[in-house]
Structure 1
């Protein structure tokens, strides 16, 4: 009898808390502490919050349920999941689209993690409470030092590779169960202090007073859409990958949808409450851009009793949260490519991290490049990836089938038939309308042109690549299942 290679069991989350913290930790930090306040400041404050919350609960909650459930249904990474649904052939290229968007996003996200690492180190050195400290000059000095930024970017990707090489339980889960709660505690401390500063009421008015005219601007809606996807991880392939490691009795609707959306939006609003009162109290422009969290927050530490210790709590927690996001974003590519190649998990980890490091060099070198890529991929690439996932579920697999077989399996919150047309019609329709509205309103702008390139190039590359791969018989047989813990 011929020897048959044995397969080890696919890795699972060790606890439900670990699964929930992975879902929250995937985007908390960048999506909420860094990105949410500055895009909110650029788009009218309260009007943006209203647009964001509307899209969050109309699109992101049911969409997250669908993406997590697809991972549970297939127990595979992105490309394997698409292959199970659409069969072999070029249409599996939709999975490649998601993978390409994920890698592109991580390439400029790693330098953001590097910012938080730099600030965390300086918090330990009590730099922010030293006499004569200038927040804006400090940040600009970091951005202008390309060698330092590239070095920090290298440290970040090397550290991510080291943790991912340990696997799901021994690596990722051990980080996320501590990082997210620590960040929430530090944000609460910052919010309490910020609300007691002179001028804080102006920050609250800006954050939650609605300037209705902003709701007629295409920029507000395309940015709110990008933020809803960025802050929840919908369309990154993260939820699909996390779902593929679910245990039999984990709850998709509650953990993968409702809990994640409420947790993400709550932390984003908490960050706004921590930042905008300080912004107005110290006289910083609320639409300063991507450096907002790194300018305004550090100016309050000298005003707080034991401010140096609070700075350590905040920036170490901030770094851990952004680092957790980086782990889970990168895990998407690792899981998928481990399944699709003959490489071991360790080889895949170092190959993926090396590739992301190389692609991230331009963003590490220039914050202007990072800002542009964030707009193009956050507001065009993410919707494209989300439509690829949700469209495949809605029009190929069938939302009713997925709802019965995976979404409501051992669910504490039952999802009814209302979910089916939302997945099939509402989510793709709303997203396509917002993207078309922005393209019409910003015809020939650099952001519109960059978005069009992504919309055309990524599906074309995905289709061609998978047509070639599938034509050769698909991925090689493997004797192990990636992601396992020894």
Structure 2
């Protein structure tokens, strides 16, 4: 029996794993990706890619983690001794640390906006929200303080452990996230002209049905499920062996799709109702949403709810990223968790300083033509995550014998054979196509 801490309940694990997946990928990136790639067709392809490629890789991560009952590096070492598969764990460690280094910067921006929303300084003044966003992200003192505050929130949860920290936080934040989304959804669809946003999401424009949209939807499916960086391997290592990983993975995927669709249903009806364009790109959340809510009755209140919601989603992802790093640093020495949490959170904060300053005093510093923030984003999301997902898929598909993987799968023979076909051949080919596309983009 493993001495590792474990989730106290299946629902606690599912909410924590869903929280890892449901972050900026679902609420920030999904709406602007859908908005710039045809709306309904992108959404349809995203759902297909999530179900038929992302979900099988997610099951593979759950299988590796639950079977290993160790941190990612030692889990691969235990299951494949004398073979270099453990490098997947090291890749996950570096990727999670680097992602969190710039993810915490965005978390800091959210805190800055939430503070302004609570102080009612975002509504009723005819603000230029594009100029405000530029002012916030270029202010070195504010961005560093906000980034530090966000990292502090993250490490306080992680240092409390699985049951007392991550599971408790997820059980509170995830239901509240759904409730807040429903409130915003109801408000958004009651606006005059909101049906245009609904049509944009659900009435297909088939001119967008092409290879580019498919590849973007596949990349979004990987990004939004957090596969490829060992976060799900880490969380599932705290699962008892009796849990059914297929049903757990299915529930996580369903929740991720639901939140992504809800995010679109909150944003697009309001955007269309007030005469804006959905093709606003990454500034949709920080520039468009405040502008939209400013024009609504009780807009200040709904803006506070929106940024609380965004903060919850971001923290549930950030604690998963930090947990990967801490779990590797701690190993079986559970008494070292608090010290490790502070140590690694501090290191990640320092690594993130260039990202925080990328739109201010370090804006002229570039790597491959990108500022430090954009380079870190590109390196992790376009290279590290696909490579990690590829290796995890190959490990689960070919390293395990059919007998072992079928015992872990715990589902029907038909579903098992379908899963095995996908992780052995279909998913690797799809990921390689993404990597090649990135290389020649």
User: Is the structural similarity TM-score above 0.5?
Assistant: yes
Matched residue SS, 1:247: coil
Distance between the aligned counterparts of 2:129 and 2:434, measured in 1?
37
**1:332 pairs with 2:332:** no
Distance between the aligned counterparts of 2:271 and 2:375, measured in 1?
24
**1:152 pairs with 2:146:** yes
Is the contact between residue 13 and residue 173 of structure 1 (CA under 8 Å) also seen in structure 2?
yes
C-alpha offsets along residues 12-50 of structure 1, whole Å, 9 cap, x if unaligned?
111222111101111323111111112222323223212
2:434 matched to which residue of 1? Answer: 434
1:214 CA drift (Å): 3.2
Is the contact between residue 136 and residue 295 of structure 1 (CA under 8 Å) also seen in structure 2?
yes
User: How do 1:192-211 and structure 2 match up within 5 A?
Assistant: 192-211=186-205
Task: State the TM-score, normalizing by the size of structure 1.
Answer: 0.81
Is the contact between residue 67 and residue 241 of structure 2 (CA under 8 Å) also seen in structure 1?
no
1:417 matched to which residue of 2? Answer: 417
1:109 matched to which residue of 2? Answer: 103
Against the structure 1 CA distance between its residues 356 and 304, is the aligned structure 2 distance closer, same or farther, given a 3 Å change threshold? same
2:368 matched to which residue of 1? Answer: none
Is the contact between residue 3 and residue 332 of structure 2 (CA under 8 Å) also seen in structure 1?
no
Is the contact between residue 282 and residue 299 of structure 1 (CA under 8 Å) also seen in structure 2?
no
**1:351 pairs with 2:353:** no
C-alpha offsets along residues 360-416 of structure 1, whole Å, 9 cap, x if unaligned?
122212256434543442233211111121111112124542231x231xx799943
Distance between the aligned counterparts of 2:428 and 2:198, measured in 1?
34
**1:123 pairs with 2:117:** yes
Task: State the TM-score, normalizing by the size of structure 2.
Answer: 0.89
1:377 matched to which residue of 2? Answer: 380
2:251 matched to which residue of 1? Answer: 259
1:446 matched to which residue of 2? Answer: none
Distance between the aligned counterparts of 1:333 and 1:342, measured in 2?
14
- Among 62, 67, 71, the alignment partner of 1:73 is 67
Matched residue SS, 1:416: helix
Say how many residue pairs are matched. Answer: 430
- Among 382, 394, 397, the alignment partner of 2:397 is 394
Against the structure 1 CA distance between its residues 150 and 399, is the aligned structure 2 distance closer, same or farther, given a 3 Å change threshold? farther
Is the contact between residue 4 and residue 70 of structure 2 (CA under 8 Å) also seen in structure 1?
no
Against the structure 1 CA distance between its residues 89 and 435, is the aligned structure 2 distance closer, same or farther, given a 3 Å change threshold? closer
2:354 matched to which residue of 1? Answer: 362
User: How do 1:475-486 and structure 2 match up within 5 A?
Assistant: none
C-alpha offsets along residues 115-174 of structure 1, whole Å, 9 cap, x if unaligned?
222222222222333433443333222122232112211111122222211111111111
Against the structure 1 CA distance between its residues 162 and 435, is the aligned structure 2 distance closer, same or farther, given a 3 Å change threshold? same
Distance between the aligned counterparts of 1:140 and 1:69, measured in 2?
44
**1:176 pairs with 2:170:** yes
Distance between the aligned counterparts of 1:249 and 1:403, measured in 2?
14
Distance between the aligned counterparts of 2:88 and 2:167, measured in 1?
29
Distance between the aligned counterparts of 1:342 and 1:261, measured in 2?
30
1:421 CA drift (Å): 1.8
2:309 matched to which residue of 1? Answer: 317
1:269 CA drift (Å): 0.9
2:131 matched to which residue of 1? Answer: 137
Against the structure 1 CA distance between its residues 118 and 66, is the aligned structure 2 distance closer, same or farther, given a 3 Å change threshold? same
**1:29 pairs with 2:23:** yes
1:84 CA drift (Å): 1.9
Is the contact between residue 197 and residue 278 of structure 1 (CA under 8 Å) also seen in structure 2?
yes
Q: Which runs of 5+ in 2 are unaligned?
A: 360-370
Q: Which runs of 5+ in 1 are unaligned?
A: 1-6, 443-486
1:296 CA drift (Å): 2.5
Against the structure 1 CA distance between its residues 341 and 16, is the aligned structure 2 distance closer, same or farther, given a 3 Å change threshold? closer
User: How do 1:255-294 and structure 2 match up within 5 A?
Assistant: 255=248, 257-294=249-286
**1:216 pairs with 2:195:** no
C-alpha offsets along residues 51-98 of structure 1, whole Å, 9 cap, x if unaligned?
211211111112111111211101011111111232135442232122
2:219 matched to which residue of 1? Answer: 226
Distance between the aligned counterparts of 1:84 and 1:215, measured in 2?
44
Is the contact between residue 222 and residue 435 of structure 1 (CA under 8 Å) also seen in structure 2?
no
Is the contact between residue 23 and residue 317 of structure 2 (CA under 8 Å) also seen in structure 1?
yes
Matched residue SS, 1:128: coil
Is the contact between residue 149 and residue 364 of structure 1 (CA under 8 Å) also seen in structure 2?
yes
